[in-house]
Amino acid sequence: MADFTAKLVLAPMVRIGELPTRLLALKYGADLVWSPEIVDRKILTCERVYNKDLDTVDFLSSKGNKKIPGVTDLVFRTYRKLEKDRLIFQMGTANPELAVKAAKIIVKDVDGIDINAGCPKHFSIHSGMGAALLSTPDLLCSILTSLVEQVGKPERKPISVKIRLLEEKKDTLDLVVRLVKTGITNLTVHFRTREMRNREDPIRDYLDDIHKICKENNVSLIVNGGIRNYDNYKEIQSKYGSDVGCMIASAAERNVSCFRSQGQLNWPQVAKDYIETATRYNNHPSNIKYCLLRMVPGTASIHPVLNGLKESEEMRDALINIMGDDGEVKAGRDDITDDSRKRRRDVVENVDKRIRVNEECRV
């Protein structure tokens, strides 16, 4: 059974947290990794398929785009040889019965089920899911209790939940008291309110109070919000307790080697590691590009080159053969730099704005 205590973990991030990023996070030192949030109704459309070519377990949607079978209809993929005992599946739900049905489909191929009750974005809160559950604590507790009793205990898999702070300290602590009595194994708290954005400092004024409630109920606590790297994780433990875990989101999106105890690698090496992993596991080209354009600084000359590519092998060629170790286009590639100069100016002008908007979606 997955153990959450004192762990440094990769946050659930839509689009970012697919298999390649999770595998790199584990390679670089993460103890556990979260899948992106997937809604219960989407899981219910899926068929479990063993992918013999990749040695992965794939969940393919019967209602998905069948243009490229196994790629365009892919909802979730796991490589159990590396993710076993370390993969937590995050579910979006607002219905105890649907949550249980969906969890039963996925639970044997993951190592825990986590309920998203913290993301404030529309893709999470529609139909009462995500941070909307903070306003319906009875429903949230019912979902967790149902999962614990009908899935967690029979399958010997932990059930956990991720929340944000409420506006008032008392209301937050009252909610935590209720949640830890549902039978969950772990509570992750993003120490910002629903209205706060990631550029704002997290509120840790009563982290000790939440930690105490968790310890009294044998529930582990993971701190989310403003955690940047391994050293920051150790600082949090030194201040709040050696049994406290930490979850990294935005920093891992930019450089997933932030989990390294020896210090993070330079982004060009991480980008190369990422493209090798992503192509090895046949990740969708649009998702590869999405992730790379968040790893590669907009000021790097390779950025507009990547921005103009569509195919996985083209992106791999650009990073392996066109980009130097410093992240810039190699000397002698004037044909590429000349062709991409205008795109580069446009990208540089907009990259900071795009990153800010994207970070606001990170939970």
Q: Where in the chain is the domain with CATH 3.20.20.70?
A: 8-259
The rounded distance, in Å, linking the Cα atoms of 22 and 218 is 28
Using alpha carbons, select from 114, 50, 38 the residue that is nearest to residue 78: 50
225 marked as binding residue = yes
161 marked as binding residue = no
The SS3 of residue 191 is: strand
226 marked as binding residue = yes
Of the residues 119, 141, 246, 258, which is catalytic? 119
Neighbours of 33 (CB within 10 A): 25
**214 annotated active-site:** no
Q: Is the pTM of this model over 0.85?
A: yes
Ramachandran area for residue 211 (φ above 0: left; ψ -120 to 50: alpha; else beta) = alpha
Whether 186 contacts 148, CB under 8 Å: no
90 marked as binding residue = yes
Residues with Cβ within 8 Å of residue 172, at least 6 apart in sequence: 165, 166, 206, 210
14 marked as binding residue = yes
Residues with Cβ within 8 Å of residue 262, at least 6 apart in sequence: none
The CATH number corresponding to 8-259 among 3.20.20.70, 3.40.605.10, 2.60.34.10, 3.40.1190.10 equals 3.20.20.70
Per-residue pLDDT in tens (0 to 9) along the chain, 363 residues: 799 999 999 999 999 999 999 999 999 999 999 999 999 999 999 999 999 999 999 999 998 777 777 778 999 999 999 999 999 999 999 999 999 999 999 999 999 999 999 988 877 787 899 999 999 999 999 999 999 999 999 999 999 999 999 999 999 999 999 999 999 999 999 999 999 988 899 999 999 999 999 999 999 999 999 999 999 999 999 999 999 999 999 999 999 999 999 999 999 999 999 999 999 999 999 999 999 999 999 999 999 999 999 999 999 999 999 999 999 998 655 545 444 444 444 444 444 444 444 444 444
